Amino acid sequence: MGIQTPGDLKAFLWKRLPMLRKHAVGKDQVSDLVDAVLVEFPERSLGIVKQGGHDQGLIEEQLLQSVKRHYCLARGEDEHNVGMIWTLIVLNVASAIIAEIVKWWWANADNRDQMARWKNLGRKRNG
């Protein structure tokens, strides 16, 4: 039936991520990164740009920086004081996760609707 929950998306991404990247950080950190991407996902901004265009790349770069901030805050770490090697590894994995989620999001309108539902549920829980 496809991806119906954030957990389904995490399982899908775990299968799709390159072996070395995902095992470098582990399943828990991949899950935390996916959560950060889902919270920060810029569906409105992506919805108004051309798929695969330069602007999409800029939005993905901004998303990566937002994910870094969100991830560090959620873990109680100062984003400016984490180790360089750790940062490179995690940002590399986060970049791969973002690329896969953006591909999934663009794949069809049902995926975009699903993302909107998840974000709305998150806002209701936190608001």
- The C-alpha atoms of residue 62 and residue 39 are separated, in whole angstroms, by 14
Question: Residues near 8 by Cβ (< 8 Å), separated by ≥ 6?
Answer: 2
For 71-119, the pLDDT digits (tens) are 888 877 776 666 677 778 888 999 999 999 999 999 999 999 999 999 8
DSSP H helices in 1-127: 6-16, 19-25, 27-40, 43-47, 54-74, 84-107, 109-126
Quote the pTM value.
Answer: 0.87
32-79: pLDDT as tens digits: 999 999 999 999 999 899 888 899 999 999 999 999 888 888 877 776
